[in-house]
Structure 1
Amino acid sequence: MTDTPPLLGLLSRDSGESLPDQIVRAIAARIDDRQLRAGARMPSIRRFAASHGVSPFTVVASYDKLAAQGYLESRRGAGFFVRERSVLNTDVRAAQAPAHGVDGAEPPALDVVWLIRNMFRQSPGRPSSAAGVLPADWLDGAAVANALRAVGRQHASLLLNYGAPHGYGPLRQQLQRKLAALEIEAAPDQIVTTLGVTQALDLVARECCRPGDTVFVDDPAWFLMFGSFAAMGLKVVGIRRLPDGPDLAQLAELAALHKPRLYVINSVLHNPTSTTLSAAKAFQVLRIAERHDVTVVEDDIYCDLHPGAGGQTATRLAALDQLRRVIYLSGFSKSLAANLRVGFIAAPAELAQRLADRKMLATLTTSDLGERVVYKILSEGLYRKHLERIRTRLDAVRPAAMRRIEALGFRPDPLPPAGMFAWVDTGRDTNVLAARAMAQGLLLAPGSLFSPSQLPSTRMRVNVAAMEDDALWRFLEREMARRPA
């Protein structure tokens, strides 16, 4: 007889998701990841209900759903058991590699897919310290809902057709004004809307590179692009990130050696360190790019969270270069609503046209509906006040979160001056820490995932806006009291 790993902190009566659905999702994840082996006996209905503070009826409904989905089987007089994997539903989940092992199961396999998969498994109402977005209650859901209703009242024919290849025209005109406030001159025909920065990076890489080409990224950097670029047959090389930008000596040396096609860089509020490129280094980055014929891709997705947004206290490469060698990317998933999936590319007009053509080959057009919603929020002046509230709130929670993090013995590296992330040194292998956390239903973002090398690391990214989970703090306190492995 075996027990399910306790669902500590996973069950919430305020999440908007029913308790049976939360239990089903959590147990299915444990079976998919082989924490629960085929043939394992589940706790009795009465025992599960007592240990998790739910009613027997809730457990019956959960077990029945799991049986209907092929995860469990009921044996008369004996209870519920995990079904053999060979007879599980043959869907995507059954084909996924194990995320972590428990009690002799397969060892941890922490990679980019592991983190993304488990981020989406977290309860929708439960903020995660590993997430790259703000908690839902920090965002202005009412403004998004009101804008969506207003767009819905427009003539139906406007909502039933494909959008424009470059994107919704009024939104691109609004983006032109937004860029002008950052001293980046871009006409509407130089702007192409995308399904977030993820698609923007994909389109740029496919247009500018061929299999075998080299792409530079910061190290550490946003992990999702590593796998995406590798899948295109590109060689990904990391450039060491320092508090004021890249290591220029390394950048120059490796640029001469590898002749990269692209260098993807966060200039403002770098993910995961929340550092910002200095003006002096920005100038030198462009000089090196010019010398070695490198196209710079400036990912500015966190720009609106910078305290000087619109006030010119942060230097953009695109402002210095005026979109000659720099391709500028940004969007609204981090500051407005991830579910809208509205991002954009600003580039030279000829390249923008080719990117729009490539976008149509991949997805036809982007969602006109989401772009109209974003346009309404931007054009009515709601966005500026919303950003002010977010930045003020981040500034309020960051010092307390950092004090508590440092009390655990973690060392911020460096201390984040703004933004939602902190890059901390825990003094121990964070792959091991993340695997132990996941066994308790807690998600961490280990440092190995943020480097193209994927080597074990003592560092970890934390989201200071999502550190209010008492179960997380209890776990970290217990772990830091243990001797490092």
Structure 2
Amino acid sequence: MDGSHQQDSSAAPERKDSGGGAQDASGRALRLVVPPGTAGSTERMPDPVPSAQMTLVEQLTEWARMRIDERVFRAGMRMPSIRQLAQEKGISRFTVVEAYERLVALGYLESRRGSGFYVRERGAQASAAPVAPVAVAARNIDVTWLLRSMFHTAETHKAPGLGFLPNEWLDGELIASALRGLGRQPGNHFLASGTPQGFLPLRQQLRTRLEELEIGATAEQIVLTSGITQALDLIARLYLCPGDTVLVGDPAWFVMFGRFAAQGAQVIGVPYTAEGPDLEALERIVQAHRPRLFVINSVLHNPTGTSLSAAKAFRLLQMAEQYDFLIVEDDIYCDLCPPGHAATRLASLDQLRRVIYLGSFSKTLAANLRVGFVAAHPDLAATLTDSKLLAGLATPEINERVLYKVLTEGHYRKHVERVRGRLDRARDDTRRELERRGLRLFPGQHAGMYLWADTGRDTNAIATAGHDKGYLFAPGSLFSPSQMPSGWMRFNVASSGDPDMLDFLSRQLDRR
């Protein structure tokens, strides 16, 4: 152990932020304050910290506490050594020692003699109240830190890990025009609670859009939801009981892992190829675990950006029939798929007999519009509507009316064409930059928002280092149900062009 428990004299006065650090709306500084002339410049904190009113020890304690709460530092992890952290922050080792000791007293860390400080498992606090068995399963699925960071990140050019397009890529005037149009309608149109299945004219419009994808569905087979997330929640509540198995891609969209685990389900990943899931591995898993559901992005899969081939789609449907499981087809990236792109939708082959089709507009219009939909067999659509009523009554009709006007006023198609063209250019640029830095790209990524790249390094470490510097990376471990360390990383091509971010990535890759 380096350092001692002696009080650091530099930490005694309450140091003010005299370095002109950035501040939030309440005037709280966002930087770790160090004495003038100390080695090492100030660093951007992961969250607003009232450092102007705090000593160095208090600032460092708060910095570490937030990283533990957000699970950047996870239970069992060894904290940076006292010497290392003092050098990185440009502060005294005595300051680090006292901060670590405070974190031990607060229950965040434990000290192991001769080894260092480790993040403490804080299960005792969580279990103060009775906890259902499903909560134990959910604890193994840890994606909270990335979700929180996505909402905290203000500079999208520093966030290659974002899961949505930057605001400047979207067309706010489409929504503003729709809102102005609604404002000219009588106010009593907006007073009712809405209908359980959702705004009928929008469901009729969605029926027309599904016909273009060769998916036959009546308006009665479509249920509007508050985004894809609520759609998956309704399906999980209906089909999954504790102990049931649900299959997902490995890698796949990480938010659903926690949702299914919270339902008590066993979440198992299916390896991916450039043409979709590895069907030989899938069949072995199905035979061993007899799943209830398989959730898949058949078009522009998140995070690999690949699309399902026709041959694999047919075989997957045959397997679902043979082993009696349902397929949930998440087509959230539908409108980002260019015309003529080789892609096969399972719902178009199956016509909603064994496939439940999900859609949304959060990627192409606005993340906070929160209008998604489920298209399903008539009996299932009715059951999902009942579940929706029990879970939260109706979805807000005003949002559904806004989306209906956007889709019917004639400008939406041109908008998505412009976005697709811009993504094509950004993807080519990002691909060249990543390959120039030695990253290996997953094959078959020819459209959409994402590139999936092998860094050859533990991307958890890269994401952790980037978090300190204000960069948001999406490490590969988050996209696997096993949450094991991974060399893969997802890059949003719309927010991966910043030279400083790319140089930071290069420096991380050069470390041994």
Settle same-fold status: TM greater than 0.5.
yes
**Deviation for aligned residue 1:365:** 1.1
Deviations 1:28-82, CA, capped at 9 Å, x for gaps: xxxxxxxx7xxxxx447x899xx789xxxxxxxxxxx965xxx7746xxx89954
The corresponding residue for 1:21 is: 25
- The 2-side partners of 1:425 and 1:98 are apart by 23
> What is the deviation of 1:220?
0.5
The alignment status of 1:381 with 2:410, answered yes or no, reads yes
Answer whether contact 2:34 2:42 (CA < 8 A) is retained: no
Aligned-residue Cα RMSD (Å) equals 3.2
1:232 alignment partner in structure 2: 263
Between the aligned partners of 1:452 and 1:299, the Cα distance in structure 2 is 17
Q: Indicate which of 453, 457, 479 corresponds to 2:482.
A: 453
Q: Does 2:431 align with 1:402?
A: yes
Question: Partner of 1:241: helix, strand, or coil?
Answer: strand
SS of equivalent residue, structure 2 residue 25: helix
**Pair 1:465-2:494 in alignment:** yes
Partner of 2:364: 335
Seen in structure 2, the aligned counterparts of structure 1 residues 23 and 235 have a Cα distance that, compared at 3 Å, is farther
SS at match of 2:486: coil
**Counterpart pick for 2:463 among 424, 429, 434:** 434
Q: Distance in 2 between matches of 1:423 and 1:231?
A: 27
2:142–2:258 contact (8 Å) kept in structure 1: no
Residue identity in the other structure for 1:443: L
Q: In the TM superposition, what are the counterparts of 1:259-338 in structure 2 within 5 Å?
A: 259-308=290-339, 313-338=342-367
User: Which residue identity is paired with 1:473?
Assistant: L
Q: Is the 8 A contact 2:243 2:265 kept in 1?
A: yes
In structure 1, what is the Cα distance between the partners aligned to 2:236 and 2:49? Answer: 41
* 1:186-210 deviations in Å (ceiling 9; x for gaps): 1001001111101111111111121
Q: Does the aligned pair in 2 maintain the 1:22–1:123 contact within 8 Å? A: no
Structure 2 match to 1:57: none
Pair 1:443-2:472 in alignment: yes
2:425 paired with 1:421: no
Q: After the TM superposition, which residues 100-249 of structure 1 pair with which residues of structure 2 at under 5 Å, given as runs?
A: 100=73, 103=85, 111-123=142-154, 128-249=159-280
State the shift of 1:255 in Å.
Answer: 1.1
TM-superposed CA distance for 1:211, in Å, is: 1.4
Give the conservation status (yes or no) of the 8 Å contact 2:157–2:497.
no
* Residue 256 of structure 1: how far off its partner (Å): 1.6
Q: C-alpha displacement at 1:471, in angstroms?
A: 2.7
Q: Per the alignment, do residues 47 and 350 of structure 1 end up closer, same or farther by CA in structure 2, a change over 3 Å counting?
A: farther
CA contact (8 A) 1:220 1:451 kept: yes
The Cα of 1:140 is off from its aligned counterpart by: 0.6
The reply to whether residue 361 of structure 1 matches residue 403 of structure 2 is no
AA matched with 2:422: R
SS in 2 for 1:471: helix
SS in 2 for 1:222: coil
CA distance in 1, matches of 2:430, 2:353: 41
Give the SS at the match of 1:21.
coil
TM-score (norm 1): 0.82
Q: Which amino acid aligns with 2:333?
A: Y
C-alpha distance in 2 between matches for 1:79 and 1:272: 40
CA apart distance, 1:395: 0.9
The CA deviation at 1:400 is 1.2
How far 1:153 sits from its partner (Å)? 2.3
Distance 1:165 1:95 in 2: 41
User: What CA distance in whole angstroms lies between the structure 2 residues aligned with 1:472 and 1:23?
Assistant: 27
Q: CA deviation at 1:154?
A: 1.6
CA shift, 1:481, in A, is 2.4
- The answer for the alignment partner of 1:59 in structure 2 is none
Does the aligned pair in 1 maintain the 2:161–2:474 contact within 8 Å?
yes
Deviations along 1:239-281, one digit per CA (max 9) or x if unpaired, are: 1111101111111121121111000011000000000000000
Preserved CA contact (<8 Å) 1:73 1:82: no
**Pair 312,427 (structure 1): closer, same or farther in 2 beyond 3 Å:** closer
Cα deviation 1:290-324 (Å, max 9, x = unaligned): 0011000000001110112xx58421100000000
Please say if residues 73 and 81 of structure 1, whose CA atoms lie closer than 8 Å, have aligned partners that are also in contact: no
- In structure 2, what is the Cα distance between the partners aligned to 1:467 and 1:296? 33
> How far, CA to CA, are the matches of 1:122 and 1:260 in structure 2?
37
Distance in 1 (CA, whole Å) between partners of 2:68 and 2:485 is 26
Deviations 1:204-233 (A, max 9, x none): 111112111100101110001111100110
Q: Which 10-residue stretch deviates more, 93-102 or 443-452?
A: 93-102
d(CA) in 2 for partners of 1:316, 1:462: 25
Deviation at 1:392, TM superposition (A): 0.6
- Can you list the C-alpha shifts for 1:352-388, whole angstroms capped at 9, x where unaligned? 1111111121121111111111110111121111110
Cα distance in 1 for partners of 2:406, 2:258 equals 34
Distance (Å, rounded) in 1 between the aligned partners of 2:341 and 2:438:
36
TM-score by length of 2: 0.78
CA contact (8 A) 2:30 2:49 kept: no
Q: 1:209 to 1:81 in 2, by over 3 A?
A: closer
Q: Which amino acid aligns with 1:21?
A: A
Q: 2:400 aligns with which of 358, 368, 371?
A: 371
Check whether the contact 2:174–2:412 (CA below 8 A) recurs between aligned residues.
no
For 1:399 and 1:181, the matched residues in 2 are separated by 29
Cα shift at 1:159: 1.5
In the alignment, the residues of structure 2 paired with residue 151 and residue 124 of structure 1 have an alpha-carbon distance, to the nearest angstrom, of 32
Distance 1:24 1:355 in 2: 46
**Which secondary structure does the structure 2 equivalent of 1:20 belong to?**
coil
